[in-house]
Amino acid sequence: MGKFAVLRDYTGKTQVLVRDEDVKFTELLNGTTFESYIEVKGRVCNRPEDQVNKNMPTGEIEVLVDDIKVLSAARQNLPYLIRDYNKPKENLRLKYRYLDLRHAEMQKNLRMRSKVAKKMRDYLQDRESFVEMTTPTLSVNTPGGAQEFIVPTRLPGRFYSLVQSPQTYKQLAMIGGFERYFQFAVCYRDEGAKADRQPEFLQVDLEMADVTMAEIQELIENLLTHSWPDDLPSVKAPFPSMTYEEAMTTYGVDKPDTRFGWKLQDVTEIVRGCGAQVLESAVASSESFAHCFVIPGGQKYMTKKIISSWESLAEKDYQLKGPSVFTVRDNKLLQGQLAKKISNSSQSQLVEKIGARVGDAVVLAVGRMSSVLPLLGKLRLLSANILEEAGVVVRDPSDFKFLWVVDFPLFEMDEDSGKLVSVHHPFTLPKDEDVHYLHTDPIKARSQHYDLVLNGCEIGGGSMRIYEPSMQQHVLENILGIDASSLGFFNEALQSGAPPHGGIALGFDRLIAEMCGAKSIRDVIAFPKSIEGRCYMSGAPGSVTAQEMDLYHITVKEEDNKKS
């Protein structure tokens, strides 16, 4: 029968066979640890018919061994074995990432990432005449946006900031006469522990002069369809578009997953006369509304535990009571905690308006629009997860739905400071018809910003830029209260004759994660940080010596562990 072994490389697995008479090779294999690096020479042969493995791509052949060498033996008792099932927990995978990279999934993901990046570079340079430029990573602190990482220098009190994006530099490239710029830019944001974020990430950064928003969108659509992996279902351009207001009203989020319906519906007028005092009083104000969505066949999945968790979520994160969850009975009336207090006529009217059927669940929320819509948007996604965990197909994982979201507000009110802040960044150009609001009522101004969404994940964002120095200074100083001198070099550059320009950045990690169907962007990054921003493998962030601290004029403030 001989001795069997399985070899693995980046192409997959192959079975090798040592003949019974080759005793020394058999003994060598028996003494070789798992994950050792070996060299095999032999002849490729067809397997006997009764030994064909149809579940293995190479299951019809095997290698008949003529020679084996152990080039590098792995140590005994590795922290885990490489297999496609019962994988270790993520923290252990990250600590021994060099082993984790051997998993077939990681090989597939990172090789796809490399191919997509090459296709994008080739398309931008060869077809669209873009110039690839590398902008500084060490820069100065910029106002607005995310928290930046600070880098000390040998100059007392002087610091670099790691760029959160190449925003100002790519605009300077436009002013400098490079009308089409791009780069695969490493960016940094100190945003704390978030499951879908990394402290350093990669974005495909583009900027163009003398273009319109529609032209930038068309270029991105062509870029994505050109670089789309051949083994995935194709995507077609143009991508559909939706306003921010429509997205929030219909889906409760500004990055809707349009692979499934369950749209939010306004039922305020029905609730205002429904007979249930608690609901009627909640929508009595002109600033209060009632919205709901239907979960098809959701009755069997709405347990008391789930509804209780939703009530806690509504109160904690959205300052709302509820939501109210009903199911539809066979007489097309509602069943639920408040159902008996709602008149039969209002129940029938509600069921008919929202198109609910017997066995469906109805999730209703009442209160301020700014809280009701985001809550229902969150519950819509949680409901889809609940049904999918039970085996119901809600979102097709092989379906890729791109969507442009446009007409965002230019500014919003910061609840903590009571001041206006930019929804995206302070360099965004307002819509032409809303420019006058900059001097009268800035909160009403809409922006020429556009987000690209894929299956409910924001994978890109861009805008047309302010290129008039007076407008930029007005936005910074008079609307946002930012000292324009903090961007003195940029304002000075705008006075050098800046062309109209705009751009976009694609979150490359998120895009590849969606292509691969990965649960986390960490599964498409070779050496990512943990959710806490740590590297379990190297120990980063680490400590430095006293001499290095002196060199960079650093003192560490000891934490006060005393109880107050």
Q: What pTM was computed for the model?
A: 0.93
**Residues 72 and 174 both lie in one domain:** no
The answer to whether residues 367 and 405 belong to one domain is no
Residue after which a domain boundary falls, among 389, 423, 442: 389
* 366 in the same domain as 270: yes
pLDDT recorded at residue 563: 47
| Domain-located, residue 88 | no
Q: How far is CA 423 from CA 414, 461, 470, in A?
A: 10, 12, 20
Residue 395 domain-assigned (yes or no): no
- Write the pLDDT tens digit of every residue in 46-90: 999 999 999 899 999 999 999 999 999 999 999 999 988 888 999
For residues 311 and 409, membership in a common domain is answered with no
User: 219 with 343, same domain?
Assistant: no
Helix/strand/coil for 461: strand
Environment class of 290 (CB within 10 Å of its CB; exposed 0-12, middle 13-18, buried 19+): buried
Domain CATH code at residue 134: 3.30.930.10
Which of the four pLDDT bands, split at 50, 70 and 90, describes residue 561?
low
- CATH number of the domain that residue 10 is part of: 2.40.50.140
Q: Encode pLDDT of 466-520 as tens digits.
A: 999 999 999 999 999 988 777 888 989 999 999 999 999 999 999 999 999 998 9
Q: What gap in Å lies between CA 461 and CA 463, rounded to an integer?
A: 7
Residues 424 and 465: beta-carbon distance below 8 Å: no
**What is the rounded distance in angstroms from the CA atom of residue 370 to the CA atom of residue 288?**
10
DSSP state for residue 254 in the 8-state scheme:
S
- pLDDT tier for residue 558 given thresholds of 50, 70 and 90: confident
Q: Which amino acid would we find at residue 352?
A: E
Whether residue 179 sits in one domain with residue 275: no
Q: Is residue 255 part of a domain?
A: no
- N- to C-terminal Cα distance for the chain? 74
- Whether 539 is in a domain gets the answer no
- Pairing mode, strands 200-209 and 159-162: unpaired
- Crossing angle (nearest 10°) for helices 244-251 and 369-389: 60
Mutual orientation of helices 104-122 and 508-516 as an angle, nearest 10°? 130
Domain match, 437 and 417 both:
yes
Residues 408 and 344 in one domain: no
Mean of the per-residue pLDDT values of the chain:
94
Three-state secondary-structure class, residue 120: helix
546: pLDDT strictly greater than 90: yes
Same-domain check for residues 429 and 518? yes
Comparing CA positions, the residue from 117, 121, 159 lying closest to residue 141 is 159
Whether 193 has a pLDDT exceeding 70, the answer reads no
Shared domain for 47 and 67, answered yes or no, is yes
Mean pLDDT of 286-297: 96
Strand-pair partners of 366: 290
The sign of the torsion formed by the CA atoms of 214, 215, 221, 224 equals negative
pLDDT of residue 195: 67
Which tokens go with 506? 């694609």
**5: part of which helix (H) or strand (E)?**
strand 3-9
Query: Which of the listed residues 366, 389, 412 is the one where a domain comes to its end?
Result: 389
Q: Poorest-confidence range of 33-42, 85-94, 481-490, 537-546? A: 481-490
Residues 144 and 220 in one domain: yes
Instruction: Please indicate, yes or no, if residue 500 is contained in any of the structural domains.
Output: yes
Question: Which CATH number do you get for residue 329?
Answer: 3.30.1360.30
ω into 238 cis (within 30 of 0) = yes
pLDDT value at residue 144: 67
Q: What is the pLDDT of residue 560?
A: 65
Is residue 302 one of the residues assigned to a domain? yes
Q: Where are the alpha helices (DSSP H) in 82-212?
A: 90-95, 97-100, 104-122, 167-175
Q: Given pLDDT bands bounded at 50, 70 and 90, which one contains residue 458?
A: very high
Residue 562 has pLDDT above 60, yes or no: no
* From 99-108, 316-325, 477-486, 531-540, the region with the lowest mean pLDDT: 477-486
Assess if residue 94 is contained within a domain.
Answer: no
Q: Is 279 within the bounds of a domain?
A: yes
Give the total number of structural domains in the chain: 3
Given a cut of 80, whether residue 564 has pLDDT beyond it is: no
Query: What's the domain range around 439?
Result: 105-240+400-524
Same domain, 31 and 123: no
User: CA 509, CA 111: separation in Å to the nearest integer?
Assistant: 13
